[in-house]
Amino acid sequence: MKNALSWLAILAGMLLIFTVALVVRPRRLKAANSPPTQVKIDNFTFGPDTLTVPTNRTVTWVNQDDIPHTVASNDGLFRSKALDTEQSYSFTFTKPGTYAYYCTIHPKMVGKVVVQ
């Protein structure tokens, strides 16, 4: 009887480990396959011009152009200082919605972040 209970405990432990592995692994794969959270500023454009991210995701804009640019939301929610070449600005989006933004130095440069 004692051996049967020991084997039952071992099997229950193995089942628990297997179940945890099934739950944790998809989360790791999902994180590895997450959409990009970086917007490249280059040649007077934001790329991609529309970025879709989940709630509570931080987006980083990186200036790879030879001249300064800014990132400013149309609704005043976020605004960077002038970014020189290779400088970056980050903002964390905590609420779902569509956030349009532009460069205050070059207003024809526009983009948007869609938060789901």
Q: Can you give the pLDDT at residue 51? A: 97
Number of domains in the chain: 2
d(CA 40, CA 34): 17
pLDDT at residue 64, as a whole number: 98
Q: What is the mean pLDDT of each run of 10 residues along the chain (116 residues)?
A: 59 53 49 72 98 97 98 98 98 98 98 98
**28 with 42, same domain?**
no
Domain range for 9 is 1-33
SS3 sequence, the chain?
A: CHHHHHHHHHHHHHHHHHHHHHHHHHHHHHHHCCCCCEEEEECCEEECCEEEECCCEEEEEEECCCCCECCEECCCCCECCCECCCCEEEEEECCCEEEEEECCCCCCCEEEEEEC
